[in-house]
Amino acid sequence: MVNNIQCAVVEHQAAAYENAESIVLLLCKECAAGVGKINLPESLQAAVNAFIEKYPDFYEVEAVNSLALMHEGKLLQLTIVGCGEGKECTPANFRKAAGAAVRALQKQKITTAIVAVPLLLKATRAHYLQAIAEGLYLGAYKFNECKGESKPATECNITITSAVENGEAVLAQAEAIAQGVSLTRNLVNRPGNWVNPVVMAEEAGKVAEAYNLEIEVLDEKEMAAKGMNAILAVGQGSKNPPRMITLKYNGAGDAPYTAFVGKGITFDSGGISIKPSENMGEMKDDMAGAGAVLGAMQAIAQMKLPCNIIAILSCAENMPGGNAQRPGDVVKAANGKTIEVVNTDAEGRMVLADAVWYACEQGANRVIDIATLTGAVIIALGNETSGIIANNDELAEAIKAAGKKAGEAFWQLPSLPECKEAIKSDVADLLNSAGRAGGCITGGLFVGEFIKEGVEWAHLDIGGTSTATKTSGFKVKGGTGFGAMTLIKYAGTL
Ligand code: BES
Ligand code: MN
Ligand code: ZN
């Protein structure tokens, strides 16, 4: 059960549809021709044919058309959800359609439903089945934790018609992924007064305990001993102390570790370079990178993927307290480089500086960091696509490919060596901000300065994608969990 949804699979047989309260058909244009093969009772088959004729655009991605009819003396909801045509008929679009489908079921207060999918008549379509289940679980997500009296959401048992081999095992994977992504969403949606760096460490502790992962939580003193003055500088303006949290998952013996490093600013006021008050509250989501890393780590451990991952959540609260860092301050990061703090609102790259260094220090030969690092990425790429800055094009391509599987879009930005000039300081080694021009690129390049020679690295800027202003597909308004699923799919390729 995830988000009050339980999925199961059944063969495409007449008995499957008996006594159903609701039948949802997931159809692309081409699948519509195959509706005759899924063994619907004759009268329903006739209704579906009439329905398709009445709504010729039924196949458009996420189009939902529903009608109630009497079937054997009982009310039956028949819903058709479109999954595209031709090249659009991807697992990603079926995932989106499944998200729209489950919200239609919730709205209709359905407690048992059949999701009938002619596309799954082929035994080899496991990736489609998995995407559909992910969409059903994640499209149903709701964040109710902050409501004083939350009414219990109705549970819905969904049976998917499928001939896919090992269907139950495929569903178990989808469930693990949806649980991981939902954990990310919960952390992102929780307000800043509920989630501080110590709470992040507790949340990581729960995951470590449940899946038997190694965990280390560094407090201020321990970070100081390691010279992690960049994260400490960011955290020093807050009463809530910073934490550097490391989890280790060993699923591949002594193979080298890949590190996932997340920005975990539990609230970003901007510090002394304070942000305008309008919409400042949105900055409770500034730990979305760390949230994505933790959600991914939970799913990877639950799925027992054959890979070795170090997860680092670099957590601090950026506040303008009496002990806060000042613009003009110079701090020495753990790798020995000095940083001139021109803008205390460019804090994400500072917490990541020490974190990616720590990942390399622990022997990772590949580092992927993920962060709500800049507003500039929104100007460059909008709210659907995350930016990639990398020192290795194959790694960037692998992340884009994993993103495609996850229904999450990434785009690699150019990072010419010349761009590094912009982050050079006159008084120190580096400037923490190079202003507006190419802000997403210079932000990423700054983080890259703390990667050890020879280590593959990619930086994912989710500044525009970590939250959504409207519900659509498998994403629900609020925290999207963006990046968690991509990291899981990427780990699946290791
Ligand atoms: N967390 C913000 C980036 C952000 C802002 C993400 C709005 C999503 C929406 C980050 O810490 C920040 O403040 N970045 C500054 C950097 C600048 C001072 C170089 C920015 O983008 O303005
Ligand atoms: Mn900031
Ligand atoms: Zn920030």
Helix (H, G, I), strand (E, B) or coil at 319: coil
For the chain, give the mean pLDDT. Answer: 96
| Ligand 1 geometric centre to CA of 237 (Å) | 18
Å from CA of 270 to ligand 2 middle = 5
Using a 6 Å CB cutoff, which residues line ligand 1? 268, 286, 343, 345-348, 372, 374-376, 433, 439, 463
Q: How far apart are CA 391 and CA 380, in angstroms?
A: 20
Q: Which of 349, 405, 475, 489 is catalytic?
A: 349
Strand partners, 367: 259, 457
Mean pLDDT: which of 38-52, 67-81, 286-300 is highest? 286-300
CA-nearest residue for atom 14, ligand 1, is 374
Q: What is the pLDDT of residue 149?
A: 81
CB atoms within 10 A of CB 163: 16
CA dist 488 and 299 (Å) reads 7
Give the 3-state secondary structure of residue 487. Answer: helix
Q: What is the pLDDT of residue 221?
A: 98
Indicate if the pLDDT at residue 379 is higher than 90.
yes
Residue 319: how many CB atoms within 10 A of its CB? Answer: 23
Average pLDDT over residues 141-168: 92
What spacing in Å lies between the alpha carbon of 258 and ligand 1's midpoint? Answer: 27
275 is catalytic: yes
> Is residue 142 pLDDT above 90, yes or no?
yes
Q: Are 346 and 447 a contacting pair, CB within 8 Å?
A: no
User: 285 CA to middle of ligand 1, Å?
Assistant: 12
> Given the structure tokens 């079926």, which residue do they identify?
94
Q: What percent of the chain has pLDDT over 90?
A: 93
- Predicted pLDDT at 432: 98
Which of 348, 317, 358, 314 lies closest to 440 in space, CA to CA? 348
Question: For this structure, is 475 an active site residue?
Answer: no
- Of the candidates 275, 337, 420, 452, the residue annotated as catalytic is 275
Task: Give the pLDDT band of residue 152 (cuts 50, 70, 90).
Answer: confident
Q: What is the mean pLDDT of residues 152-162?
A: 92
Directed axis angle between helix 167-189 and helix 197-211, to 10°?
A: 160
Atom of ligand 1 nearest to the CA of 372: 6
Find the mean pLDDT for residues 382-388.
Answer: 98
151, pLDDT greater than 80? no
> Ligand 1 pocket: which of 374, 431, 432, 442 to mutate (most atoms <8 Å of CB)?
374
More confident residue, 41 or 471: 471
Whether the predicted pLDDT of 18 surpasses 90: no
The least confident of 25-39, 345-359, 388-402 is 25-39
Q: Which residue minimizes the CA distance to atom 18 of ligand 1?
A: 346
Task: Report how far residue 494's alpha carbon sits from residue 491's, in angstroms, rounded to the nearest whole number.
Answer: 5
Q: Which atom of ligand 1 is nearest to the CA of 439?
A: 19
Ligand 1 pocket mutation pick from 345, 349, 462 by most atoms within 8 angstroms of CB: 345
Domains within the chain, CATH numbers bracketed: 5-164 (3.40.220.10), 179-491 (3.40.630.10)
CA of 362 to the centre of ligand 2 (A): 27
| Listed range (14-23, 165-174, 451-460) with the worst mean pLDDT | 14-23
Q: How many CB atoms lie within 10 A of CB 332?
A: 16
- pLDDT tens, residue by residue, 338-360: 999 999 999 999 999 999 999 99
Residue 33 binned pLDDT confidence (cut-offs 50, 70, 90):
confident
Q: What is the pLDDT of residues 312-324, one digit of tens each?
A: 999 999 999 999 9
β-bridge partners, 312: 246, 261
> Nearest to residue 108, comparing CAs of 137, 143, 73, 65?
65
